[in-house]
Structures are given as structure tokens and as C-alpha cells.
Structure 1
Amino acid sequence: MTTVETAAFEEGKMTRRRWVICGLLFTAVVINYVDRQMLGVLKPFMSDEMGWSETDYADIVFYFQAAYAASYLLFGAFVDKVGAKIGYATAFAIWQLAHIAHAGASSLNQFFLVRVLLGIGEGGNFPGGVKAVTEWFPKKERALATGIFNAGANIGAVITPIAAPMIMLAYGWRAAFIITGVIGMLWIVAWLIMYRAPEKEAKVNAAELAHIRSDPEDSDRKVGWLTVVGKRETWAYATGKFLIDPVWWMLLFWLPDFFKKTFELDIPTFAGVLAAVYLISDAGSVAGGWLSSRLMKNGHSLNFSRKITMLICAVFTLPYFFIMQIDNLWLATIVVGLVAAAHQAFSANLYTLPGDVFPRSAVGSVIGIGGMLGGIGGMVMAKSVGQVLEAAGGYAPIFAVCGGIYLLAVLVIHLLTPKMAPARFPEIAAQA
């Protein structure tokens, strides 16, 4: 125990161990997005060697999305059953080994296989992460904590276009998967050593534990998967994921291709542009979580704080409608960064919805259902983007759809959860 922690115990000050856990989650999401985005970053340089058409690449993305969607659902229930520690570690090990296995793929079918394995593992990332946030943070801090760990997605997306081309130029694209994969495996050791429930953590004092458990909720209530499927609150979250997740998938897998084709970039400029986009979006993830948490601390209701933040984010995605009219590289970079930031801010608040309205024992299952719907939406997007690019030869129709989808998501979420009140379970009370 450090001197600062010892003093906190002796003086009765609140320890801050929950933010260490948030830092671990942040690091895991960085690694997750390095692994996820690697193929998209290297695709413009691998396509000729592999002989991929736009449809071939879209199929690779499609198979990843299909596995991801199915796995999200399964891992949601699995994480609720075994807890965040084992659930997240299992998912991490699967996806990291699959990432390394990309180095051995040499045919289209082999890439289908390794992407399926990657999707199976990555399906456990957010069920495990959000479950951990729900265990370690009260509602008034969850959006901020989720925004911080979700910001790891953007850091991973910044690192990948810088590191992957450099490794590729020096050692070949296969080495890019091996080197990043082996380094990433170190995280699982730290997670298994450091993570445990707050009640079992010696570095959490009574003040911090009371803060973490300050919400009036029945943490011991067991809610089954079939029970949450029938709740409107589940479908508010799941429909929101179905609508907005495909937009993020499109950015991850096709943004490198869009910039390279539109502006004919060399590798150093290419890396700088993608890094700038994701650094801007990183700020959005933290800002979105901070805004709704700040509104709640200032006395606004959870319902108002979450929804007004998502509405503001939706307005900031409207520039999608004119991205194709921008012919200046760095202006396009700023605008794409802005809409990506709006997505991440929206997502940080959407991810808190299960923890806001469901008992902790059901959060993983709800996250899994929503993630499955988001993955299905991503599958539809993958097929659509490939077909549109081959038929229309440009991204204008795709960006037009992205421009209006977030306002629709806010409307659907509001209609299904007009007050964002805790989900009621009269059937469980009757059984008791």
C-alpha cells in the first residue's frame, strides 16, 4: 500500500481505487481497438497482394460482425454468471490470440476464420467493461468512467495507423500482427492480479466503498436473461446500439480507404490524418461522459442529463451530410473528427443505460443483447458499404445515412424509456 493510500485510511479520506480499475479498462480497450482496426489500416496496402475486391473485404468485415454479434450476446450472459474478472479475461485471451493468428493467414478463407475468432473474443469487451464499471462506480460517475475507458478506442485507433505502417515497412504486415499481439498479452496478467470486487479489495476504504454503493438498488436481486428480454428498457438500449454502432464500424473499417482514395495520401500523411481524427473523437468520449455526470451533480435528473447530452451529440453528427463536398484534406479531417467525437460521446451515455435502470446482476445480459443488435447492424452496414462502393463508386450515400441516424436513435430511446426509471420486475416479486 502506498503512503497516500495509507494516509487515506488513517484520516478517513476516500480512496480512489475505482479509477485504477477504470485505467485498466481503458488500457484493455486501447488494445482491443488496435487489434480490431489493424486490418482496416493495412487493407489499402494489403489488397493488391491478397487480390481482394471491395466485396471480398466487405465479406471479411461481415464475418467478423456476425461472430461479434453472436458472441456479444453469449458473453453478456457469461459475464453476469462468472463476474467481470473471469469473463473479461476469457474474452481478452481469445481475441488476442486470434489477432496474432492473422500473421499466419494467406487466403481469403483463412482471413474469414481469424476474423471470426477475433469477433468471438471481442464480443466480450464491452459486456465485461461495463459490468466492471457498474460494480465499481455509482450512477452519478458511470457515464464519466465509461467515457474514459471508452476513450481507449480512440487511442487504439490513433496508435494503429502510426504503428502498423511503420512495422509493415520495416518487417512486413505479418509482423505488425505478431508484435502488437505479443505486447498486448501483458495486460491479462495485470488484470488477473489487480481486479476484484470492491468489497474484497484491501485498497478500498470504507468511505470509497460507501460511495460506490451509494445508489438505492437491490444488488442481490438475480434477474435472468429471459426476464430482461421482455423489458422496454432493454430494447431502448438495444435499438440505440442497432442504429448507431454500424456508423462506428464503417469509420473503423473504411475511413482509411476513404482518405487514401479521396486525397491520394502517402503513408506518413495517411497516419497523421487518422491519428488526428481519433484524437478529436477521444475528446468527445470523455466530454460526453463528463457532461451528463456534471448535469447530474448540478441537480438535474438522470433522465434529463443522459438524453440532453445524447441530443446535443446527435446534432453534432449532422456534418456527415456535407463531408463529400469538402476538398481540403485538413478541413475534412476536422469534420470527420467532429462527427466521430459526437458518436463517442453519444455512445458513452448509451452504455450507461443498462446500469442506470437494471440491477447489477442483469447489466451484462442487457449489454450483450444490445451488442448483438449493434453487431447485426454492423453486418448490414458491411454488406451495404461494399455494394455501394462497387455500384456508386463513392461514399456520399453512406454518409447521408449516417447524418440522420443519431436523431432517430434519440427519439427511439425516449419513446421506449420516457422517464428512464428503474425497470420493474413484478414477476420476480410475485415469485418471492
Structure 2
Amino acid sequence: MKIKGLRWWIVGLIMLGTIFNYLARSSLSVAAPTLTEKLQLTTQQYSYVVAAFQAAYTVMQPIAGLILDWVGLKIGFALFAVGWAVANMLHGFSTSWQSLAVFRGLLGLTEAAIFPAGMKTISQWFPARERSVATGWLNSGTSVGSMLAPPLVVFCIITFNWQTAFAVTGAIALIWVALWLAFYHAPKDHPNLSEQERHLILDGQEASKQETGARPSWRHILGERRFWGIGIPRLLAEPAWQTFSFWIPLYLVSVRHMDLKEIAMFGWLPFLAADLGCVVGGYLAPYFMKRFKVSLITSRKLVVVTGALLMVGPACIGLAESPYTAIALFCVGGFAHQAISGALFTLASDVFGQHEVATATGLTGMLGWIGGLSFSLVVGALATTIGYNPLFFCLLVFDLLGAVIVWRMVAGEPAAEGDIGRHAEPAEA
């Protein structure tokens, strides 16, 4: 049976995997106030646990991308998903910050495949003009997963214990693995893909981006100026998301004096706003193309600029007297960051071929997580001395600088939609 609009069902399947991925990783931040009490963790020790995940995730992203480009999406992604489900459940056996850090590192190693796999799927399944929208929906899974974590984790902790919270948020990913293995196939092999949609996908892709069978090369990708034009802005943007994901609950408890139930009620709102940023950011690029008659690549860069300007929201959190105003400003930051993130992910699928897009996404992701890891350690070291407010202001500065870099270093405007990326020229010095 042929399924109409099958490509959107495929991105929905990837989005569901992203939700479960981020539900697992966000469980720690929600449980952090409980863990700091039960395991007697200091803020510094908690930052080391966070860093263990970030370091493992950082190192593994390009390796995961390379594995996915070599062995293929279906089996490779399923193995990574089983790995992160098991790793998250193991958190319940932690007895100290050291053992928690070990299990957190295992989670980072296995969860690192999510975006290399997602962008490889979008590169294969979507014509160029639809990629930003598809990426927006894919990226929205990060926010939905983070949004679901506070009420679910708090419910498990209050009803059962903190160990149950990690068991539940990990095991649920196994449901997705079964769905993935049952329903995913590449476009050329999918029995439910109509010929009309197959032609729409292939005709809308760049000739230079068709799957060639060639093996990706780290050396070639790292030698591309456009890679650094995407990678450096990701390094500068990721600290914002790492801060929102890992530090909001502790900030609300230690600075705004909210309790666990209030976090369950309000802690998910920044991630709902981030969800909107994913979707709206995805539609902004085609809007800019239509409204301002700009090319596809320029439209992506305009989305990055728009998001960077909106990061003034979290920069002003220190001026907020009410904790609810602070949460509202976190919401602005979540919206802004996810718009930036989606545009940078899509740019990678625009300028790299299908045989190397997972590897390129993994490498840019590694740079992003180097930025996130470094900044989390800074937060852990300085939050109790200089406070959070100067650190939140840094997030605005980082993204404004990233917007300048992506504008200058990612060049190459397509002569026509079906020719995107084929005639890319180096940016002027």
C-alpha cells in the first residue's frame, strides 16, 4: 500500500526518536535537586557529572556519524538507541557522583548518534526546499523530550523513587526501536513510497548530493571553509542549550527558591517555547526566500541572525524580579536557540553530500558540544561566586558572534533550486 506524504511520516518517526533521546538525557537535570541531597553532591561535583555526558557525547558524535555513513541508518541507529536505553536505566544503580558520571558518560556515547542520523535521513528523504521545515520538526523533538521530563520524572520520584525515574525514561526508548526496525527503509527500498513522491524527492535534490557510495573523509570535511562556518557558530550556540537543559532546575531552586512541585509545573515551559522555535524557525527560511527574494543559503543565515538577536531575552534574566518573569525570559531564549540550531543543522545538509552529511553533522556537533562542555564547567565553577546573571549575558554575546561568522564564512548561492551546493564558491576574505 502506498502512503501519501510518506516523507513526513518518516520525519515524524525520527522526531519520536529524538523525543525519547532528550527525555532520557533531561532526566538528570530534573532529578538534580533530589540527587544532590540523596548522593550528597556539591554543585561542582554535579558539573563533573554533566561534563562526563558532554565529553563522551562530544567525542562520539563524529564517530557515530562515520558509523552511520558506513553501515547505514536502519541497523546503526537501532543499535545506538538500544544503547542509550540501557545506559539511562543504569543510572539507578549510582551510589556516588563518580558512578553517576560513569553511567552518564555511557549515555553520552550512545545518544551521540541522534542528529547525525536525523540529518542523514532528511538529506535522503527531502528535496532541498523542504529541508528547513523537516529539520524544524525533527529538532522540535529535543524540546518535547525536555518538556516531558519535568512532570514525568517528578511523578516517578514522588510516587516511587529517583531510580524509577531513570528506569522509565530509559526503557521507553525500546518502544521506538521496535517501530524503527519495523517501518524504516531508505527511499529507494521503501515499499510504501509512491513513484510520484519518489520523483519529487529526487528531482528536488542536488545532483552533487545524491548517494554516491563513496566513503566520507574527515580530512576533506575539515578542510572545507563552509564546515568551519557552521561548526564555529555551533560551538558558540551550544552553551545556551546546555545551560537550559542542565542548569534551569538548579537555578530555580537555588536562586529563585522554587520547590520540586513548582519546577514540575513551570520548568517545562522554556522547552515548549523551544519547540515553537524549532517549528517557526523551519518555516522562516522559506518565508524569507519568498518575502525578500533571497537564495536558500541566505535564508538560513537570516534565521541565525534573527535567533541571535532574540537571545537578549536570557541576557536580561538578572533584571527580572519575579521567578515567573525569569521563566518567561528563559522561554525567549529557548525559542531563539532552537531557531538558530535548526538553521545550522539544515545548512550542513545543504552543503554536504548524502554520503558524508552524517559525518559532517557529527563533526560540527562535536564542536558544539566542546562549547557546551566548556561552558558547563565554567557555570559549575562560577555560579556560586559571581552568580548566574553574567553567565546568561555571555550567551547573547556568543550567538551574536556566531551569526557574524556564519554570514561571512558560509557562501555559495545556488543558481537554481535543484542546483544548491553544486557551485558553491569560497567566501571572500
Q: Same fold (TM over 0.5)?
A: yes
Cα offset for 1:420? 5.3
Aligned equivalents of 1:80 and 1:384: distance in 2?
34
CA distance in 2, matches of 1:304, 1:374: 22
The equivalent of 1:216 in structure 2 is 206
2:84 to 70, 91, 95: 95
Cα offset, 1:61, TM superposition: 0.9
Per-residue Cα deviation, 1:285-332 (whole angstroms, up to 9, x for no partner):
100011113334665311221111111111111122221110122222
* Alpha-carbon distance in 2 for matches of 1:61, 1:375: 12
Q: Does the 8 Å contact 2:295/2:413 carry over to 1? A: no
Q: Which residue of 2 aligns with 1:251?
A: 244
Contact 2:81 2:173 in 1 (8 A): no
Q: Give the deviation of 1:268 after TM superposition.
A: 2.6
Q: Structure 1 residues 73 and 46, CA, compared in 2 at 3 Å: closer, same or farther?
A: same
2:244 aligns to what SS in structure 1? helix
Query: Partners in 1 of 2:128 and 2:42 — Cα distance?
Result: 47
Kept in 2: contact 1:140–1:296 (CA 8 A): no
Question: Is the CA contact (8 Å cut-off) linking 2:271 and 2:331 kept in structure 1?
Answer: yes
1:283 to 262, 273, 276: 276
The CA deviation at 1:410 is 1.1
Partner of 1:29: 18
CA contact (8 A) 2:413 2:424 kept: no
Shift of 1:118: 0.3
- State which of 403, 406, 411 in structure 1 corresponds to 2:399: 406
Indicate the residue corresponding to 1:348 in structure 2. 342
Change (3 A) 1:48 1:198: same
Q: 1:358 to 1:420 in 2, by over 3 A?
A: farther
Conserved? CA contact 2:411–2:424, under 8 Å: no
Query: 2:316·2:329 contact (CA, 8 Å) conserved in 1?
Result: no
Q: Distance in 2 between the 1:397 and 1:330 partners?
A: 19
Aligned partner of 1:311 among 305, 309, 313: 305
Whether 2:124 is the aligned partner of 1:139: answer no
* Conserved? CA contact 2:236–2:398, under 8 Å: yes
User: Take 1:398 and 1:73, find their aligned partners in 2: how far apart are those partners?
Assistant: 28
Structure 1 residue 369 corresponds to structure 2 residue 359: no
User: What SS does structure 2 have at the residue aligned with 1:39?
Assistant: helix
User: Residues 177-229 of structure 1, C-alpha deviation per residue, up to 9 Å, x if partnerless?
Assistant: 11222222110010011111111112111111111112232314424232111
Distance verdict in 2 for CA 1:301–1:104, change over 3 Å: same
Partner of 1:331: 325
Gaps of 5+ in 1: 6-14, 427-432
- Does residue 387 in structure 1 map to residue 381 in structure 2? yes
Alignment of 1:193-204 (within 5 A): 193-204=182-193
1:203 partner letter: N
Using the TM superposition, give the Cα deviation of residue 360 of structure 1 relative to its aligned residue in structure 2, in angstroms.
Answer: 0.8
Letter in 1 for 2:159: A
Instruction: Confirm or deny: 8 A CA contact 1:358 1:423 kept in the other structure.
Output: no
Q: CA RMSD in A?
A: 1.7
Q: Confirm or deny: 8 A CA contact 1:217 1:359 kept in the other structure.
A: no
Summarize the Cα distance change of 1:149–1:425 in structure 2 as closer, same or farther, 3 Å threshold.
closer
How much has 1:423 moved relative to structure 2?
A: 6.7
Stretches of structure 2 that go unaligned for 5 or more consecutive residues are: 415-420
The question of whether the paired residues in 2 share the 8 Å contact of 1:140 and 1:297 is answered with no
Give the alignment partner of residue 82 of structure 1, picking from 71, 77, 81.
71
Give me the TM-score of the superposition, normalised by structure 1: 0.92
2-structure distance, mates of 1:157, 1:184? 14
1:116 aligns with 2:105: yes
Q: Which amino acid aligns with 2:393?
A: A
Larger CA deviation: 283-292 vs 204-213: 204-213
Counterpart of 2:316 in structure 1 is: 322
Q: CA deviation at 1:147?
A: 0.7
Counterpart AA for 1:400: F
Q: 1:265 aligns with which of 252, 258, 263?
A: 258
Give yes or no for contact 2:230–2:410 (8 Å, CA) kept in 1.
Answer: no
- 1:267 Cα shift? 2.6
Q: Distance in 1 between matches of 2:422 and 2:294?
A: 20
Shift of 1:419: 3.2
Letter in 1 for 2:50: V
Correspondent of 2:390 among 391, 397, 410: 397
How far apart are residue 367 of structure 1 and its match?
Answer: 0.6
User: What percentage of aligned pairs have identical amino acids?
Assistant: 30
Q: In structure 2, the residue corresponding to 1:151 is in which secondary structure?
A: helix
173-182 or 159-168: bigger deviation: 173-182
Cα shift at 1:425: 10
CA displacement at 1:82 relative to structure 2: 1.4
Matched-pair contact (CA < 8 Å) for 1:318–1:404: no
The 10-residue stretch of structure 1 (264-273 or 139-148) with the greater mean CA deviation from structure 2: 264-273
SS at match of 1:270: helix
Preserved contact between residue 231 and residue 423 of structure 1 (Cα < 8 Å): no
Q: 1-side partners of 2:422 and 2:39: how far apart?
A: 50
Q: SS of the counterpart of 1:202?
A: coil
Q: Deviations over 1:232-284 (max 9, x none)?
A: 11111211211111210111000111112222113332112112221111111
Partner of 1:242: 235
| TM-score (norm. length: structure 2) | 0.93
- The whole-number CA distance in structure 2 between the counterparts of 1:425 and 1:278 is 36
Of stretches 414-423 and 269-278 in structure 1, the one that deviates more from structure 2 is 414-423
State the alpha-carbon separation in 2 of the partners of residues 255 and 267 from structure 1. Answer: 12
Query: Is 1:50 the equivalent of 2:42?
Result: no
Offset from partner CA, 1:67-119 (integer Å, 9 cap, x none): 00111010111111112222221221111110011011112221111011000
Q: Using the alignment, how far apart are the partners of 1:182 and 1:165 within structure 2?
A: 17
Q: Secondary structure at the match of 2:117?
A: helix
